[in-house]
Amino acid sequence: LPHRYIPEPRHRIEIYRKLAQTTEPATLKRLTEELCDRFGPLPEPVEFLLEVAELKILASERGITVLEVKDEKLMLTRNDDYLMLGGKFPRLTKRTVKARLKEIKRLLLAL
């Protein structure tokens, strides 16, 4: 969380704590609304942080315990075993952070 967006350290810690405890889409939505209400429009780094939190929720809902990107491939772990699509790891094609996060979300939603 950028210091310019949330200047008070105790408030940043509070938001990080709430984010770490978020396990449902509705809770994440409420946290997003709270951030906008308290601190104003979301800067891009905060948007990315919230998108990553959404990916964690989606992964958890699908029983995925580890989600990592390695050498342009999305590696998902479920039940201590790699989850492959069509016998291989999905290759990520997008280059920007925003586009990659959307690409990962689309792959998770397809599971």
* C-alpha–C-alpha distance, residues 16 and 24, integer Å: 16
50: nearest Cα among 94, 95, 105, 110: 105
Residue 111: predicted pLDDT: 86
| Residues 46, 31: Cα–Cα separation, whole Å | 12
How high is the pLDDT of residue 81? Answer: 94
* Side chain identity at residue 111, one-letter code: L
| pLDDT value at residue 86 | 85
Residue 72 has a pLDDT of 92
pLDDT tens digit at each of 111 positions of the chain: 999 999 999 999 999 999 999 999 999 999 999 999 999 999 999 999 999 999 999 999 999 999 999 989 999 999 999 998 888 999 999 999 999 999 999 999 988
Q: Which residues touch 65 (CB under 8 Å, ≥6 apart)? A: 59, 77, 78, 80
Q: Is the pTM of this model over 0.85?
A: yes
